[in-house]
Structure 1
Amino acid sequence: MYKLLIADDEPLEREGLQLMIERAFPQTFTIFHAEHGRSAIQQVEQHRPHIIFMDIKMPGIQGLEAIAEIRKIDAQSKIVILTAYDYFTYAKEAISLGVIEYVLKPAKKQQIVELLQKLLHQITKEQAMREQQLTAREKLVQLQALSETAWTWLLMGKMDECSAHTFTGMEFEKGYAMVIELEKSDASEREKWEEIVKQCIKQQRRCLCSPLSQRQMAIFIEAEQHERIISFAQSLLKQLEKALQQRVKIGIGTIRSGVDGLKRSYKEAWTAVRYVSSFSRAIHIDDVPITDEVEQIHIKTNGNVIEQVEMFLHENYCYDVTLEEVAKYVHLTPYYFSKLFKKETGQTFIDYLTHLRIEKAKQLMRDEGLTVKEACYRVGYKDPNYFSRVFKKVTNMTPTEYRQEVCERL
């Protein structure tokens, strides 16, 4: 049922209007009375009526004053002025207060009925619109949460990229990963703890948060190179321990770009948090000493490290790449990396890089028609004579002979 308030200092006016409304709209309204402006304000505070009939001249607080106060409490109610005073100034002020109609007494039954029918139609329409807006907002929140989960799962290696791209785009391109591990495990508290972590971080940084699983949450935080990551993590750790009422530890990855970079940062953060044996600590991957134990954790976490190295070399073979530099890239000691690379590829690091550069040089001379000297510089060699010796060692012919042979075929 709808709620309707009649505010008038004349009891007969109130009762007569109520009788008229109840006969025209049986079992449609719950009707309340107010004999002056103050009572009308109190009734609105208590009942929040959908429709208000308000007289202007009443003892104490006048009708227009009461409407001004009511509008502070309830902006949605439909207010109708029902008065014997036909003054333009009253009508003008009533319009400024959002009054729907200005009806002069004595009002005819048909006039009141048509007015209420119009108001009920408006109220029904507005309620339906609000319901649609709430439903749409709920769906948007669900989609945003689903999208956030999808992207964090992608960056954690739990979902393929095609599946994640069916949701909305990732919010940022550059940042770092943080893995937060809680000391306690309680299924009944999981959702509450997850929400606390999200609120603590999202109030301070733009980020994507994974669900809490096996006492861990992955956080992907937008950041630039100058970001003070360690101090933020230490501050966050204290906030989380206070809010969660338990100890926490945090592992932090390096700042990287794109999906592949953030995936790598997550693996670094996971390695770092695994290294920390005690709680109430935050540690960056760069501060994790490289030991056999850490290397084994890192290999296990990152899957096929050699695939990452091969991809890195194919993108950077033209630069002065060293074994030490690549070992640091995958967070392994040069000694351990060298052994692992030889075991997985059957070649030493230098042999692999050399063969890669020579194959690229052959491709450049064959497909792009580059001279020997041009190909030499393009693949990372600085001395054409040295390049020629290496080329002949690998292919059993000089680069000039290779180029001539290719030209003859063409």
Structure 2
Amino acid sequence: MYRILIADDEPMIRKGLEKLVGQSGQPLASLRLADNGLEALRQIREERPDFLFTDIRMPKMDGLELCRQVSEMDPDIQIVVVSGYNDFEYAQKCLSYGVKEYLLKPVSKKAVEGALSKLVSLHAKQKSQAFVSVKKLEQWAVQAEEAIWSLQQEALQAVMAEAKQELSSYRLKLSHLVDVLGEFSALLNQKLNVRDVFTFTERLQLHDVAGEEEAWIRFEASLELLLQDLKIKRKGKLKDPVEEAKQYIEDHLAEDVSLEEVAERIGLNASYFSQLFKQSTQETFVQYRTRRRIELAKKLLAQPHYRITDISGEVGYADHPHFTKTFKKYTGFLPSEYRHKLGIE
């Protein structure tokens, strides 16, 4: 399953490429569109694509600069340049940034299929070059599962250290490392669930990591979280720690509750809890708390008997101007404007 991003500022061409790629017969995990290079770069950081189709001339950031930045960020992303005849010499400069194919507008179905076949072949070759022994992954997963099940934190850390040292010696590219760590995590979760005592949910998310160090931090935190999760389950606290944290935040929206306070409340290390919360909600602790405060503020603003200055305190903002600024950032309206929109004067 391949993730593909198309960047072109011309809507007709963008939609046309989307249709041709969709009809190519290649299995797609996602197919996203961007109308300029800057937006494309933002989406790449949000979720790494396997293949990028990009125009040369685009506003905000042109295709040449996009190719340069992508090649520095992750050279494993396969790039296809799509441009008009007059841009051919300009497009040739992209070759130094690892561009694998050049398509001339108007693009035909045959040309897109041919380019995708080439990219798929290169992708498969990359993965074969980064081969990591399945037997070795199985061995690590068995050791990690035993350490977690027996609540041996030092043993778990030793397994992670061994895995990190050996995998680092392979000098894997980021995309390959993400695949290997993802497979390790899936194997581990599978082995824990085979015991059929507690249910363990896969929480590792690596699709948006910016580098190897971040990938390792998330991976190691996810294993530590499994151990902490098992401790909680054995104490009879079967409630999901993230759901418990959400409820605590909800009950204390008017207070300046910290991440550390909530982590202590549910019995988790603060750094592990931070990783767990982000992976489960796709928001940081602060982002989630702010969003819930604004949602509560909107409900209170819909009730005429509440004064706006009182509402800011009700949702945890002692500083009224700060509440007003935050509310507008999230909703596009000042609190008074939002209330006026509801027909309340």
In terms of Rg, which structure is larger? Answer: 1
Higher RCO by CA contacts (8 Å cutoff, separation 6 or greater): 2
- TM-score (ref. length: structure 2): 0.39
Higher helix share: 2
